[in-house]
């Protein structure tokens, strides 16, 4: 019997249907998602969750925090919002909050997965705000490789110490973790292959960039899940007005942190949302192109081709090549093996 296609619809409290992503949201992987997780930090080895799941982590997302997958040995293939890549070791893959992702590791791969809320480094005292700037840059570029033995040695030492302190009951455990994580961010930032000038930045530029990025992602992340009758008018001028600043200041902050302008950040966010709607909902390409601001599907396709992609081919390739278990997770939600005690000791939370 032919199975019905998932409708990706749910009903709100008033009984109206609304589109939803057919991808599970987890705390880590397998646990129920908890809203408003502040001051969160967690670190564990790959083997804790990957080994029980045949070294494959199925499609899912984390609404409230980012993840760093620090790989020391073994191969790794990952997918971010439908775009797949294979990384060489040693390296670190940075997965920002809400990005739909999955990982496949070579059996026996070694490394750590670090889960952290964006506010975890906010308490770090720094004149330049270097750690926060590094985190913002890593979230934009997504991949850092550290080929030199010196860089590998330092990053391995910091992650080992992070894991040791995370499992301890030391008096100042939380502060120690925060500063060690800040050190790790700086080492990873130094390994980024980018032409961006990494000289010290003012903390005000980093703060403005973070507020702008978060505002853009919040706005674009809502596209496709309501009863929109008109495309969204997301422009640099509109966001500048919301943030009580100027387009010039937003452009300067963006170029200072990630090396490209405020308009490109919006375009990237719109493309990411369009890709999510294309892969993880049943909305037609024509509707999606309209919602993300294109008058017709051909203009939307031209935007995709800038990245050597095609909306229809992207969707076809994803459905054709994704393992059956992944496609099942798109319809029903994945069911990973539960890790005993993981929900109980899920991370570091603020002291009351």
Domain annotation for the chain: domains and CATH numbers: 21-200 (2.60.120.280), 203-321 (1.10.10.60)
Instruction: Convert the pLDDT of each residue in 202-233 to its tens digit.
Output: 668 888 888 898 899 888 888 887 666 556 67
pLDDT grade for 6, boundaries at 50, 70 and 90:
very low
The answer for residues whose C-beta is within 8 angstroms of residue 253's C-beta and 6 or more apart is 205, 206, 208, 209, 212, 262
Instruction: Convert the pLDDT of each residue in 179-195 to its tens digit.
Output: 999 999 999 998 886 55
Mean pLDDT of 243-270: 91
The Cα 323–Cα 193 span in angstroms is 32
Max mean pLDDT among 216-225, 236-245, 268-277, 310-319 falls in 236-245
The Cα 290–Cα 231 span in angstroms is 6
Q: What is the pLDDT of residue 304?
A: 62
Above 50 in pLDDT, residue 308?
A: no
Q: In what order do the strands lie in the sheet with 101-105?
A: 56-60, 101-105, 76-80, 83-87
The answer for residues whose C-beta is within 8 angstroms of residue 60's C-beta and 6 or more apart is 23, 24, 25, 26, 29, 100, 101, 102, 329, 334
Q: What is the pLDDT of residue 73?
A: 94
Above 70 in pLDDT, residue 273?
A: yes
Mean pLDDT of 158-167: 96
Q: Is the dihedral of CA 271, 305, 253, 246 positive or negative?
A: negative
The Cα 194–Cα 167 span in angstroms is 35
Q: What is the pLDDT of residue 194?
A: 59
pLDDT grade for 303, boundaries at 50, 70 and 90:
low
> Beta partners for 114?
43, 68
Q: What is the dihedral of CA 262, 264, 268, 270, to 10 degrees?
A: 80
- Distance from the Cα of residue 14 to its chain's centroid: 32
Least confident of 119-123, 296-300, 338-342: 338-342
Mean pLDDT of 112-126: 81
pLDDT grade for 251, boundaries at 50, 70 and 90:
very high
Peptide bond into 90 cis (omega under 30): yes
Is the CB of residue 71 less than 8 Å from the CB of residue 90?
yes
How high does pLDDT run on average in the chain? 77
Instruction: Convert the pLDDT of each residue in 136-156 to its tens digit.
Output: 889 888 999 988 899 999 999
Q: What is the pLDDT of residue 347?
A: 47
State how far the alpha carbon of 139 is from the alpha carbons of 119, 136, 144, 285, in Å.
Answer: 14, 5, 10, 28
Q: Of 122, 36, 40, 28, nearest to 347 (Cα)?
A: 40
pLDDT grade for 74, boundaries at 50, 70 and 90:
very high
State how far the alpha carbon of 308 is from the alpha carbons of 6, 124, 180, 304, 317, in Å.
Answer: 28, 40, 39, 7, 14
pLDDT grade for 334, boundaries at 50, 70 and 90:
very low
The Cα 146–Cα 70 span in angstroms is 10
Is the CB of residue 212 less than 8 Å from the CB of residue 250?
yes
């Amino acid at each position: 019997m032919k199975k019905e296609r998932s409708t990706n619809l749910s009903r709100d409290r008033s009984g109206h249907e609304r589109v939803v992503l057919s991808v599970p949201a987890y705390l880590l992987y397998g646990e129920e998602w908890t809203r408003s997780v502040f001051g969160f930090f967690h670190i564990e080895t790959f083997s804790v969750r990957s080994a029980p799941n045949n070294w494959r982590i199925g499609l899912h997302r984390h609404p409230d925090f980012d993840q760093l997958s620090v790989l020391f040995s073994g191969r790794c293939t990952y997918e971010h919002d439908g775009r797949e890549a294979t990384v060489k070791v040693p390296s670190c893959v940075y997965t920002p909050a809400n990005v739909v992702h999955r990982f496949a590791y070579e059996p026996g791969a070694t490394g750590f997965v670090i889960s952290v809320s964006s506010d975890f480094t906010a308490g770090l005292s720094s004149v330049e705000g270097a750690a926060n700037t590094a985190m913002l840059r890593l979230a934009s570029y997504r991949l850092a490789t550290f080929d030199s033995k010196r860089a590998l040695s330092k990053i391995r030492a910091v992650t080992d110490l992070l894991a040791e302190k995370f499992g301890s009951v030391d008096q100042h455990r939380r502060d120690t973790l925060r500063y060690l994580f800040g050190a790790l961010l700086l080492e990873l930032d130094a390994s980024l292959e980018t032409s961006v000038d990494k000289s010290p930045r003012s903390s005000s530029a980093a703060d403005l960039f973070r507020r702008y990025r978060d505002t853009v992602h919040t706005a674009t992340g809502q596209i496709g899940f309501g009863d929109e009758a008109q495309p969204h008018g997301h422009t640099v001028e509109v966001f500048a007005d919301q943030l009580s600043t100027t387009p010039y200041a937003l452009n300067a902050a963006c170029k200072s942190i990630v090396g490209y302008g405020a308009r490109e950040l919006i375009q990237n966010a719109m493309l990411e949302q369009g890709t999510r709607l294309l892969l993880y909902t049943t909305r037609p390409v024509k509707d999606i192109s309209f919602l993300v601001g294109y008058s017709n599907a051909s203009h939307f396709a031209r935007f995709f081709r800038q990245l050597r992609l095609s909306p229809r081919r992207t969707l076809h390739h994803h459905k054709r090549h994704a393992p059956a278990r992944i496609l099942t997770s798109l319809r029903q939600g994945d069911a990973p093996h539960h890790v005993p005690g993981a929900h109980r000791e899920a991370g570091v939370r603020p002291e009351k």
